[in-house]
Structure 1
């Protein structure tokens, strides 16, 4: 499934908008947790509620929790657990500390990270002289992993929350996928177990030409990667309609190829396969020496080699990095699911990466293995 040539990424597809109906479809059934100091920000919270309800989603807010037979801090965290998106509004004050030692907002933010919710952070007064020290520390830590938005007015906050929710919806509804060496945004992605169909609006003539070449030259086995799987496929059909000189609506049919056995997973010098995979990735991605010369085979593979040195906008870089890391973990039998992925903004040439996956369970009657967490500073140049 390997192809050493650089990826061809349809970069212009990052700007593809959703229709209002698509946005409402995405919002239906979604829950969005709103986290902030309550008494300080009544107008801001009302504006965020409006932004959430405007897309058909349900805001989860303390004001709506009502009487419960659990403590307030437990009720907050239960709300985070059942939410798809966490919206944090951080201002100058840290807030009263709970028995855990954290403020309610800090505890909710940490819980959202733990459960893998999508994170959207909005900050007022960043760097101001009146900001509490613990609040400054909380924001500095959050900005290591997340791109935050500042706001100075209620109207600006509502507009920025609406924009961020639309971005998250677009990422969910039009996931990036890899076919061979091309990476495109899927408008539709369906599979019946043996055949996968991808509908995409390609805005790169080079990407379109590569797909046509796969069809016309009956390319053999190609790698296919989505956010949830990696497999070998053959492109069996490609139909295109041209909307303009640089826009092609493609319908791509892929037939799954027989898998070449299951990757061997075994202890290595007393290191279990899940810990071995984590250490191997840490050494390759972060330059650590956790395996101390014990790497061999796929453990020497750099999953991000195909994009190193390319100038890729953040809106595209994050999903592409996730695709490549997921492909490495799926193809080598290390992961059953990717549970959390965060790639922070560039700071001094590096980005903080946080990746968590659930390993496969080789025994049907055994408890599921614990998730594996990889975290460190990644350099992509």
Structure 2
């Protein structure tokens, strides 16, 4: 049985994504649909206008009532359709809840519920200087339920709101471009330079990390010692959509600050390592299941991914699950449990989600990712949209394996 490095992680939890250059930020934000939800009254109209102007200036796509083209549909449905077209939901809160209809909800409450249903990032900005007693009681009740799920920022002027919105967007952009590295059981953000070595076969990697977490920094620096402790067990490197077995060759460090080290780790794949690193013994089919159909490697990989990545055993037919069980048994904790036990959220949850999918897939199956999209983490989880292709001489039809769903953070 392989070593399970997921149950002994050392994560650089103090890491923050380095800001992007302006050109890269504009590239990321271009066309992003950002829904602005608020009352349209004297209190909120100036803030709405400031948000609209700022988002247009940076190249984003503000979705708000002022810009909606009239359609042959009820205004309520137009709001909800706008949320469905959005990437981010921004709620501006003042004193008023709005007019509730026969359902008991106001338009902004319905928009918020739709954003929750779609599991897109939700940001709340509250106007400062308003006491609960001055706010509509229905709005207070709704906000109390949201406080458990969404962090809240406050603003005093349109300028302070725009500044905070800009900071949130830039942080999200940086998180989407900066990736995490898993080196054995060590997890930290950094860079990986890869090059092939024709003379010996395999690859050489230079890992560069600017680490601030004390335990991770100590473990990385200890890799240079000939007799290191078992605190760091290094046998694989994973990043982006790549994962390889490796051995560490050397470690060097530059120290500029007392709490930060620039660490470079040189490592290589085993000699004469070529091709894919998955387990080819899994490239078999089993007969039976629903209507006696055969389950091939791609079908078995899909069942395994549903269990390991999304923790959704109930979505698999019992007869199929029983048939596939020996070949879809988990080698480590499922991803939702890992996120809960590490108390991961935000950028770290996004990073662990990507690393888990890449490392576990590429250790189990020879192949590659056609694409792998990990969306920004919300308070309740991370949405994933990916496609993996198994490459094996025993498989004639390279059927893509869809990996789509929501990885929960909280139970």
Pick closer, same or farther for the CA change 1:187–1:96 going to 2, 3 Å: farther
Aligned equivalent of 1:301: 333
Moved more, 118-127 or 204-213: 204-213
- How many Å separate the matches in 2 of 1:145 and 1:213? 39
Aligned equivalent of 1:139: 143
Pick closer, same or farther for the CA change 1:136–1:80 going to 2, 3 Å: same
- How many Å separate the matches in 1 of 2:107 and 2:135? 17
- How many Å separate the matches in 2 of 1:134 and 1:322? 37
Per the normalisation by structure 1, the TM-score is 0.66
Pick closer, same or farther for the CA change 1:275–1:197 going to 2, 3 Å: closer
Question: Superposition pairs for residues 1-381 of structure 1, below 5 Å?
Answer: 2-3=4-5, 6-14=8-16, 16-40=18-42, 41-97=44-100, 102-124=105-127, 128-186=132-190, 201-203=210-212, 207=216, 221-222=235-236, 224=238, 226=240, 231-234=243-246, 242=254, 244=256, 246-248=260-262, 257-261=276-280, 262=282, 277=307, 281=311, 298=330, 301=333, 303=335, 317-320=348-351, 322-323=353-354, 326=357, 342=377, 344=379, 353-354=380-381, 377=410
> Residues 149-190 of structure 1, C-alpha deviation per residue, up to 9 Å, x if partnerless?
122333332222122112211211213332322222246899
SS in 2 for 1:13: coil
Unaligned runs of 5+ in 2: 197-202, 227-232, 270-274, 291-301, 314-324, 390-396
Unaligned runs of 5+ in 1: 284-293, 345-352
Pick closer, same or farther for the CA change 1:186–1:65 going to 2, 3 Å: farther
Aligned equivalent of 1:288: none
Contact 2:90 2:124 in 1 (8 A): yes
- How many Å separate the matches in 1 of 2:4 and 2:285? 20
Count of equivalent residues: 354
> Residues 17-46 of structure 1, C-alpha deviation per residue, up to 9 Å, x if partnerless?
333333223222323221111234111112
Per the normalisation by structure 2, the TM-score is 0.62
Contact 1:93 1:135 in 2 (8 A): yes
Q: CA deviation at 1:64?
A: 1.5
- Say what the alpha-carbon RMSD is for the aligned residues: 5.2
> Residues 308-356 of structure 1, C-alpha deviation per residue, up to 9 Å, x if partnerless?
888x8966554455457656985789x9977767564xxxxxxxx4455
> Residues 283-329 of structure 1, C-alpha deviation per residue, up to 9 Å, x if partnerless?
9xxxxxxxxxx9x953873658889888x896655445545765698
- How many Å separate the matches in 2 of 1:185 and 1:76? 39
Moved more, 16-25 or 42-51: 16-25
Pick closer, same or farther for the CA change 1:282–1:377 going to 2, 3 Å: farther
